[in-house]
C-alpha cells in the first residue's frame, strides 16, 4: 500500500471508531452512566483490527496472528469489565469526573460524557490499536523470530492479566476480605498485574507489527498505553481511590512493586 492509501485507511478507521463512540454516547444519555466505556475500550480495538483485515494485503500469517491475539484479549477483558459494571453499577471514578465538571465548569452530563469520555476514548483507542492496524499493511517480510517472540509475550500478557483478574474477583467474593488489601498471588509481586499484563499484550502485538516498515511506526500505541497505565489514568487514579477505603493500603504500596513484578520488600 502507498502512503496515501495507509493514511486513508487510518482516517477511515478513526471515523469508524468515532461513529461507534457517538452511538454509545447517546446510550449513555439514556442510562445516565458512562462506566460501560471500560468494557467498550478493548472491543473498540478489536473492531479496528477487524475493519482493517479485508482492506489490506499484508502477510496472511501476520494478519491472522494479530487478529486472533487481539480477539482473545479483547473478548476476555471486555466481558470481564462488562460483567463487573453490570454487577457493581456506576464507577465512582466516572461519577467524580461528571460531578467535578458540573461544579467547576457548569457542564451538563451529556457535554461531559461526550467531550471528556467518549470522543477522547475514540481517539485513544485508535492510537493504542495502531499495531493491529499498521501491522496488517505490508506483505513482506514473513513473520520472523521477533514476531513470534511478540506473540509469546502477548500470550503471557493475556494469561497474566486473566489470572490477576480472577484472583482479585475470588478475593472480593469472600465477605471475610471486605476492607482488606489483596496481597496474595500475582498481587504479592505487583500492585497491578492487570495493567502489567495489558502492557505485555500490546508490546507483543507491536513486535509482531514492527517486522514490517509500516508496523514499525506503530510504536506510539504501546508507548501511549504504558504511559497512561503508569503515569496518567491508570495507577494514580486507582490507587488514590483505593487508599481512601483500605487503611492497610499505604503499607502495601511501600512493600510492593507498582507495575513490573518484583519480590516484595520485607
Condensed to tens digits (0 to 9), the pLDDT of residues 153-200 reads: 999 999 999 999 999 999 988 888 888 888 899 999 999 999 999 999
- pLDDT at residue 250 above 90? no
pLDDT at 238 over 90: no
| Predicted model pTM | 0.92
Give 179's contacts (C-beta < 8 A, 6+ positions apart).
Answer: 245, 246, 247
Is omega for the bond preceding 141 within 30 degrees of 0, making it cis?
A: yes
Residue 166 to residue 83: CA distance in whole angstroms: 13
Residue 179 burial by Cβ neighbours in a 10 Å radius (0-12, 13-18, 19+): exposed
Beta carbons within 8 Å of 9's beta carbon, 6+ residues apart:
1, 52, 55, 56, 133, 137
State the pLDDT confidence band at 120, using cuts at 50, 70 and 90: very high
Query: How confident is the model over 1-47, as pLDDT tens digits?
Result: 888 999 999 999 999 999 999 999 999 999 999 999 999 999 999 99
What per-residue confidence (pLDDT) applies to 211?
95
Q: Which residues contact 102 (CB under 8 A, 6 or more apart)?
A: 108, 109, 112
* pLDDT above 70: residue 254: yes
pLDDT at 247: 76
Amino acid at each position: 500500500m502507498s502512503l496515501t492509501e495507509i493514511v486513508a485507511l487510518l482516517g477511515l478507521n478513526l471515523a469508524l471508531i468515532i461513529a461507534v463512540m457517538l452511538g454509545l454516547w447517546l446510550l449513555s444519555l439514556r442510562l445516565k452512566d458512562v462506566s460501560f466505556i471500560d468494557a467498550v475500550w478493548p472491543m473498540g480495538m478489536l473492531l479496528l483490527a477487524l475493519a482493517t483485515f479485508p482492506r489490506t494485503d499484508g502477510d496472511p500469517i501476520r494478519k491472522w496472528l494479530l487478529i486472533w491475539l487481539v480477539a482473545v484479549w479483547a473478548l476476555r477483558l471486555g466481558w470481564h469489565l462488562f460483567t463487573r459494571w453490570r454487577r457493581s453499577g456506576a464507577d465512582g471514578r466516572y461519577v467524580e469526573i461528571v460531578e467535578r465538571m458540573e461544579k467547576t465548569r457548569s457542564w451538563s452530563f451529556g457535554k461531559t460524557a461526550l467531550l471528556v469520555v467518549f470522543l477522547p476514548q475514540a481517539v485513544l483507542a485508535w492510537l493504542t490499536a495502531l499495531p493491529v492496524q499498521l501491522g496488517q499493511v505490508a506483505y513482506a517480510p514473513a513473520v520472523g523470530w521477533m514476531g513470534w517472540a511478540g506473540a509469546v509475550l502477548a500470550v503471557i500478557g493475556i494469561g497474566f492479566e486473566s489470572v490477576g483478574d480472577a484472583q482479585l474477583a475470588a478475593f472480593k467474593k469472600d465477605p471475610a476480605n471486605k476492607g482488606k488489601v489483596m496481597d496474595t498471588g500475582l498481587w504479592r509481586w505487583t500492585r497491578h498485574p492487570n495493567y502489567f499484563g495489558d502492557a505485555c499484550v500490546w508490546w507483543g502485538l507491536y513486535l509482531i507489527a514492527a517486522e514490517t516498515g509500516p508496523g514499525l511506526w506503530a510504536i506510539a500505541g504501546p508507548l501511549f498505553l504504558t504511559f497512561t497505565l503508569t503515569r496518567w489514568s491508570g495507577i494514580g487514579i486507582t490507587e488514590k481511590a483505593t487508599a481512601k477505603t483500605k487503611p492497610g493500603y499505604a503499607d502495601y504500596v511501600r512493600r510492593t512493586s507498582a507495575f513490573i513484578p518484583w519480590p516484595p520488600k520485607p
